[in-house]
Structure 1
Amino acid sequence: MGQRVSLGFKVGTSDIQGARDYQEDSYAVCDPNGSNAAFEDIDSLSAAVADGVGGEAAGNIASQTVVTVFSKAIQSRPDNEPWPNVLHNSLVLANEAVRDASRQHPSLHGMASTLVAVLIDSNKLWWVSVGDSHLYLLRKGLMTKLNADHSIGAMLNREVEAGNITPEEATQNPRRNILLSCIMGETLNEVDLSQRSIILERDDRLVLATDGLNTLAMDTVVQISQQHTDAQNFAQALTDTVEAHQKAGQDNTQVVVVDLFEKQGHVAPSLPGGWRLYLALLLLIAILATWFFADQIPSISGLSAITQ
């Protein structure tokens, strides 16, 4: 007999400007169904993080445009549209919004943004990402990167894993921060779109972050997570630790943490076995009800009503 727990969400957010002149990271978290209810009380959640490029106001405008348009598109989706389609269409609209803003305001020409976004529906997770922002899953002390990284840095890291270059060569390459794909109103070179959902579990923890979090090793993030069970405290601890490193040229860092917890008194049937159990129970109740009410009907002409 399969069971699927109903999961709720606890959200934490934090950001730092680092050593940059401007804060160009943005985020948005909302109910895909448009309610203003507390995150702990809803059954679906959308979260998006974006890292803007463009300097001065342009980078901030790019990232704000992306997360705002993307989130509104999620909420205004057609009924019964598959979630991968919704994510793709919302990304397209965000890309078009950046294009339109660049055309209308010459000072914004060339602005761009990354995006990493998740859609959680009950206990199922989908995501879409462009650029080098991150989506991590923390589960039972292990940390897994879920999305692809569209940057030269990611290519260099794969070369290290293949033994073709040294870690020092990868980290010191001056081109490692160049993006291979980003949202700037043009054709998207690479998009990571999950076609199948991942089943989330109670006590899972998701981290969406811009590449400023790269200052911390994954083992460090896991250690900080184990020290902070509260989503907001964990998010704050991550950016505090990044800042404490005092890294030269530290990038903006935006973090969104989503913790999954089991809602009390909400256990839903899981396919394929759960619905069969419910049908069997309903059938049994119907049979018992028939017998009960039949016994209450007075006899007619000396014969039981149910025998006529």
Structure 2
Amino acid sequence: MGLLRRSNQDSFGLDEALQLFVVCDGMGGSAAGEVASSLAVKTFLHTAQQELLLGAASPVKTRNALWRATLASNRAVYAKAGSAAEFQGMGTTLVGAVVEDSLLTLINVGDSRGYLVRNGIAYQLTLDHSYVAESVRRGLMTEEQARHSAMQSVITRAVGTEVDVHPEIFEEPLEAGDVLLLASDGLTRHVSDAAIAEVLSQQGQSAVEGCRLLIELAKEDGGTDNITCMVVRFSDADSEPRPGMTPWLDAQ
């Protein structure tokens, strides 16, 4: 388990039939972060399911489904945040993915990440919306400074904090043997890309075992936040998705 937080503000969900996955990391006082992430996951799945089941499959339809699901999540969390004083200011990160016809499509807001592990290398496919990441991209901070910055938890975009939200969307053709990882920053703050690649490149490893090993590494490095990861492996034999996921809930 995590080592510091008493409550779990992470949420996750999936529709295995549609190969639809989502991880959210909530923020807000008291239980507001839990409410934000749970509502975002529920709304995202419901909206994406409706969109994906309409008409013939296509990359454009998949992108639109993820986009509309994220906007719907933003509207739902924003409305809830304005409904009572205890929810004011709450929000959540979101990273979602759909696998269809060997094409991986991802969407993200905030600093929860999507990775593709291929041939022993972990590629971060999503773009962090955080103070340190944007400072690195602008040349104001080095990667090393970012790793040790006290501003690591400051995100610049979130679901539900504003009337409008601006997600990023990405596509990547899949190959046999690829591994997809969706994770909250409770994992990626403590586990390097190289370590992610090493763990998830182990032959014969189940998706659930991969999650467990990553979580143990995050705990060993301090476990300062809720840790949630979802791993989906693609069989070397037939490229069919073999999903496995383990949510990690923090305790005191």
TM-score normalised over the length of structure 2: 0.84
Amino acid at match of 2:15: C
Answer whether contact 2:8 2:226 (CA < 8 A) is retained. Answer: yes
Q: Which residue of 1 aligns with 2:152?
A: 176
Q: State yes or no: 1:235 paired with 2:214.
A: no
**Aligned partner of 1:64 among 18, 21, 38:** 38
Q: State yes or no: 1:90 paired with 2:66.
A: no
How many aligned positions are there? 233
**Aligned partner of 1:219 among 184, 194, 216:** 194
Q: Which residue of 1 aligns with 2:92?
A: 113
Report which of the two structures shows the higher radius of gyration computed on alpha carbons.
1
Q: State yes or no: 1:244 paired with 2:192.
A: no
Amino acid at match of 1:30: D
CA deviations 1:156-190 (Å, max 9, x no partner) are 3335xx5x545554344333321110011524454
Task: Map 1:43-82 to 2 at 5 A.
Answer: 44-77=18-51, 78-80=54-56, 82=61
Partner of 1:127, secondary structure, is strand
Q: Which residue of 2 aligns with 1:129?
A: 108
Amino acid at match of 1:19: L
Q: Which residue of 2 aligns with 1:142?
A: 121
Partner of 1:215, secondary structure, is coil
The change in CA–CA distance for 1:265 and 1:106 in structure 2 (over 3 A counts) is: closer
The change in CA–CA distance for 1:182 and 1:123 in structure 2 (over 3 A counts) is: same
Structure 1 residues without counterparts, runs of 5 or longer: 1-15, 32-41, 267-308
Amino acid at match of 2:178: D
Q: Matched residues in 2 for 1:104 and 1:165: separation?
A: 39
CA shift for structure 1 position 201: 1.1
**Aligned partner of 2:177 among 203, 210, 215:** 203
CA shift for structure 1 position 193: 1.6
Q: Matched residues in 2 for 1:204 and 1:139: separation?
A: 5
Partner of 2:217, secondary structure, is helix
CA RMSD of aligned residues (A): 2.3
Answer whether contact 1:133 1:209 (CA < 8 A) is retained. Answer: yes
Q: Matched residues in 1 for 2:123 and 2:69: separation?
A: 25
Answer whether contact 1:115 1:129 (CA < 8 A) is retained. Answer: yes
**Aligned partner of 1:103 among 79, 82, 89:** 82
Q: Matched residues in 2 for 1:166 and 1:145: separation?
A: 18
Structure 2 residues without counterparts, runs of 5 or longer: 241-252
**Aligned partner of 2:9 among 24, 35, 48:** 24
CA shift for structure 1 position 263: 6.4
Amino acid at match of 2:108: S
Q: Matched residues in 1 for 2:216 and 2:123: separation?
A: 22
**Range 183-192 or range 21-30, more displaced:** 183-192
Q: Matched residues in 2 for 1:224 and 1:154: separation?
A: 24
TM-score normalised over the length of structure 1: 0.70
Answer whether contact 1:97 1:185 (CA < 8 A) is retained. Answer: no
The change in CA–CA distance for 1:212 and 1:73 in structure 2 (over 3 A counts) is: same
Task: Map 1:151-162 to 2 at 5 A.
Answer: 151-158=130-137, 162=139
The change in CA–CA distance for 1:188 and 1:263 in structure 2 (over 3 A counts) is: farther
Amino acid at match of 1:222: A
Q: Matched residues in 1 for 2:162 and 2:81: separation?
A: 11
Partner of 1:246, secondary structure, is coil
